[in-house]
Amino acid sequence: MAFKIVVCAKQVPDTNEIKIDPVKKTLMREGVPSILNHDDANALEEALLIKDKYPDTHITVISMGPPQAKDMLIECLAMGADEAVLASDRALGGSDTWATSNALAAVIDKLGGCDLIFAGRQAIDGDTAQVGPQIAEKMDIPQVTYVSELEISKDMKRITVKRALEDGYELIEIDTPCMLTAIKELNTPRYMSISGIFDACKKEIPVWGAADLGVDVDKEVGLDASPTKVFRSFTPAPKGKGEMLEGETECDLAKGLLVGLKSKHVI
C-alpha cells in the first residue's frame, strides 16, 4: 500500500521581478514571470526525499489557481511528482484563505485522502501562512508548522519533526495522517530533470471545478463566501534615511552615538 503524500503548491509572481505601479501603488503583474512558491518547493522536495528513500510513495501535487497554474504543476511533475491536479473555476476566484482551504480539502477528499499533507509555510504573495493549517483543521488531522527537519519511521506511521521557532526549536512526534508546513531551512529543492520534463509534458493534469469538488459556491468557496476581504493594498512608506556618524577615532564615534541616543531618550 503506497504511502500517499499530497503537496499543496501555489503559483506566485516572482517577487524579484515585481514593480509597483507608481500611481495606483498596486503590484504590476503584467509581464512578471510566475514561479512555484519557494516554501512549496521545499515541501515538494521533502516529499521527493521520502520517495527517494521509500519508492512505494505516491506524490500528488495540488493547486488552486487560474488555468496557467498548470505550468507550475508541470514543473512539479518534472521534479518527480507522480501526478498533479488543478482546482480552477471562475466560482473559486477571489477565495480568501478559508475558502481556499475548503476547496483544497475537497480536492484531497476527492483524491481519496492521503497519509501526509505537505504545504509550504506561506506564499510570497499573500504571506498569510494560513491555508495549510486550515486544511488540517478542516480535515481534522494533526499539524505541525515551520518544519525544518523531518524523520519518518520505517512503518510510516510516525514522523519526528523539528519545528523552528524564533528563539529555538521544538522536537515533535506526530502520527500520520497529518499536515506539515515546510520552511526553506528544510532542504534545497532539486531542479527539474530533462527526462522528467519530457514525461511531465505528456501527462494529463486534471482540472477540477467547483461542481467536480462538490463545494457550495455560495457558502464555501469564492469571493462572496470568503469571510475576509482585502480592504486596501499599499506599499508601506519607506523608512527615513539612517544618520551616519563621523569621527576620527572609535572613541569619538562611541561618544557621538551615546549623545545621539541620549538626546532621543533611547537610553
Partner 1 sequence: MNFSLTKEHEFVRKMVREFSVGEVEPIAAEIDKEHRFPTENIPKMARYGLFGVPFPKEYEGAGGDNLAYTITVEELSRVCATTGVICSAHTSLCAWPIFYFGNDEQKAKYLPDLASGRKLGGFGLTEPNAGSDAAGQQTRAVDMGDHWLVNGSKIFITNGGVAETFVVMAMTDKSKKTRGISAFIVEKGFEGFSIGKIEDKMGICGSSTAELVFQNMKVPKENILGKPGDGFKVAMSTLDGGRIGIGAQALGIAQGALDVTIEYMKARKQFGKRLVDMDPLRFNIAEIATEIEAARLLLYKAAYHKDRGEPYGQWAAMGKYYASEVAMRTTTKCVQLYGGYGYTRDYPVERMMRDAKITELYEGTTEVQKMVIAAAVIGK
Kindly tell me which of 51 and 163 has the beta carbon lying closer to partner 1.
51
Work out how close the CB of 192 gets to partner 1 at its nearest, in angstroms, rounded to a whole number. Answer: 4
Kindly tell me which of 130 and 187 has the beta carbon lying closer to partner 1.
187
Cα–Cα distance for residue pair 166/146, rounded to 1 Å: 10
Work out how close the CB of 194 gets to partner 1 at its nearest, in angstroms, rounded to a whole number. Answer: 4
Output the DSSP codes for 194-247. HHHHHHHTTS---EE-HHHHT--TTTTSSTTT-S-------PPPPPPPPPPP--
Kindly tell me which of 170 and 199 has the beta carbon lying closer to partner 1.
199
3-state SS, residue 93: coil
| Cα angle value 118/120/126 (rounded, 5°) | 140
Backbone angles phi, psi at 160, to 5 degrees: -100, 125
Kindly tell me which of 172 and 192 has the beta carbon lying closer to partner 1.
192
Work out how close the CB of 32 gets to partner 1 at its nearest, in angstroms, rounded to a whole number. Answer: 15
Q: Which long-range contacts (CB under 8 A, 24 or more apart) does 48-53 make?
A: 48/79, 48/80, 48/81, 48/190, 49/187, 50/3, 50/5, 50/152, 51/5, 51/80
Instruction: Point out which residues bind partner 1 (CB under 8 A).
Output: 74-75, 78, 191-201
3-state SS, residue 204: coil
Work out how close the CB of 72 gets to partner 1 at its nearest, in angstroms, rounded to a whole number. Answer: 11
CA distances to 55, 109, 209 from 214, in Å: 33, 10, 9
Contact assessment for residue 97 and residue 134, using Cβ atoms and an 8 Å cutoff: yes
Q: Return the residue matching grid coordinates 504573495.
A: 125
Kindly tell me which of 32 and 197 has the beta carbon lying closer to partner 1.
197
| Cα angle value 154/178/172 (rounded, 5°) | 70
Work out how close the CB of 258 gets to partner 1 at its nearest, in angstroms, rounded to a whole number. Answer: 38
Work out how close the CB of 149 gets to partner 1 at its nearest, in angstroms, rounded to a whole number. Answer: 23
Work out how close the CB of 203 gets to partner 1 at its nearest, in angstroms, rounded to a whole number. Answer: 12
Kindly tell me which of 67 and 242 has the beta carbon lying closer to partner 1.
67
Kindly tell me which of 77 and 210 has the beta carbon lying closer to partner 1.
77
